[in-house]
Structure 1
Amino acid sequence: MVWLALIIAILTEVTATLCLRMASQGSRLWLIPVVIGYGIAFSMLAVTLHLGMTIGVAYGIWSAAGVALTAIAGRLIFKEPFTWVMGLGVALIVGGVLLIEVGGSKG
């Protein structure tokens, strides 16, 4: 259940961020899903923490997945650049989160 809550938090945060990009380029109506999406994302992050995941692990996974998914979606939807250096950065973020996860499970 904790992982489902975190996945929902990640997906709604990424969706809200993509809608924010749309709002910056066009209709301000896109701000409605931005507010709703961020509200759900933070609520589900709170549920994740309530269910027992540590804040360092939850926030690390949430932010790393958000960065990676948003960069990839930005490339696919908005034709934004995604260079090998950016890919390396995403890989380093993911690696850092994995180290936090492994280190947190040893305590």
Structure 2
Amino acid sequence: MGMGWLALGVAIVLEIMATLSLRRLSSGFAPLPMALVVVGYTGAFACLAVALRSVNVGAAYAIWSGIGTIGITALAALFFDEHVSPAALAGIALIVVGVILVNLGGATHG
């Protein structure tokens, strides 16, 4: 796996962490979740910038948003007891198909 793909993976993990922390902040201010939001989003965008040196922006964004959506949905259900409807699961399946199709078009710079 190249450095661009590794950076994209770290960006996704940081974005998921930041978003879950943002969800925690919705019930009231707390210093740790606030720090995780700031550090997570800042790190995520920095890592995404590194990834874009070698990964096609369309593919990177499709993977970022697809895995991020799946991760957030699953972890919010686990940690925040959020309901995932059959329609939401169908939507996630369509996102996965979309990410696959985008990547079939070429995922690296030529």
TM-score, L = length of structure 1: 0.92
For residues 5 and 105 of structure 2, the distance between their equivalents in structure 1, rounded to whole angstroms, comes to 18
For residues 36 and 76 of structure 2, the distance between their equivalents in structure 1, rounded to whole angstroms, comes to 17
Aligned to 2:89: 87
Aligned to 1:76: 78
Aligned to 1:97: 99
Aligned to 1:67: 69
TM-score, L = length of structure 2: 0.90
Fraction of identical pairs, as percent? 44
For residues 103 and 53 of structure 1, the distance between their equivalents in structure 2, rounded to whole angstroms, comes to 12
> 31, 36, 45: which is aligned to 2:34?
31
Q: How far did residue 85 of structure 1 move?
A: 1.1
Alignment of 1:41 onto 2:39: no
Name the count of aligned residue pairs.
105
The runs of at least 4 consecutive aligned structure 1 residues that moved more than 2 Å come to none
Higher helix share: 1
Q: How far did residue 27 of structure 1 move?
A: 2.8
Q: How far did residue 7 of structure 1 move?
A: 0.7
Q: How far did residue 28 of structure 1 move?
A: 3.3
For residues 46 and 58 of structure 1, the distance between their equivalents in structure 2, rounded to whole angstroms, comes to 10
Deviations, residues 31-82 of structure 1 (Å, cap 9, x unaligned)? 11101100000000000001x1110000110011000100000100000011
Q: Alpha carbon RMSD of aligned pairs, Å?
A: 1.3
Q: How far did residue 11 of structure 1 move?
A: 0.4
Identify unmatched segments of 5+ residues in structure 1. Answer: none
